[in-house]
Amino acid sequence: DAKTTQPNSMESNEEEPVHLPCNHSTISGTDYIHWYRQLPSQGPEYVIHGLTSNVNNRMASLAIAEDRKSSTLILHRATLRDAAVYYCICCGQNFVFGPGTRLSVLP
C-alpha cells in the first residue's frame, strides 16, 4: 500500500504556479521524499527528492514541512508539457507508486 496521500487530480492554467501536495505521516527520520512524474505513454521520470530541507532544481522546488509529514511540489510556471501524473513517494525501502495526482494544464 502507498504510504502517501495525494489528491486525485488538479488543474492549473498555463504559466501559473502549481502546488501539488502530499501527505506522508508515517515518515521516519531516514526516509527521503521523492517526486516522479509520468507523461502520457512514457515511463515515470525523476523530478526531485529531499530529506529535510527544501530543494530546488531546474524542474521544480520541493517544500518539506517542518515535521516532515507533508511536502509540496512546486512548479513555478506550468506549461502544457507539465501535464502528467505526479507521484509522491516515501517511506519504504522500495518505491510504492500510488495513483498519484493527475495534473491538467489549461492553455
Residues that bind other proteins (CB under 8 A): 2, 30-32, 34, 36, 42-46, 49, 51, 87, 90-100
**CB half-sphere exposure, 6, CA atoms < 13 A:** 28
Q: C-beta of 22: minimal distance to other proteins in Å?
A: 14
Query: Per DSSP, which regions of the chain are E strands?
Result: 9-13, 18-23, 33-38, 45-50, 55-56, 61-64, 70-75, 84-90, 101-106
Other beta carbons within 10 angstroms of residue 107's beta carbon come to 7
Q: C-beta of 26: minimal distance to other proteins in Å?
A: 12
Q: How far apart are CA 58 and CA 60, in angstroms?
A: 6
Please say which residue, 8 or 66, places its beta carbon nearer to other proteins.
8
Please say which residue, 39 or 65, places its beta carbon nearer to other proteins.
39
Please say which residue, 13 or 52, places its beta carbon nearer to other proteins.
52
Q: C-beta of 13: minimal distance to other proteins in Å?
A: 27
Q: C-beta of 37: minimal distance to other proteins in Å?
A: 11
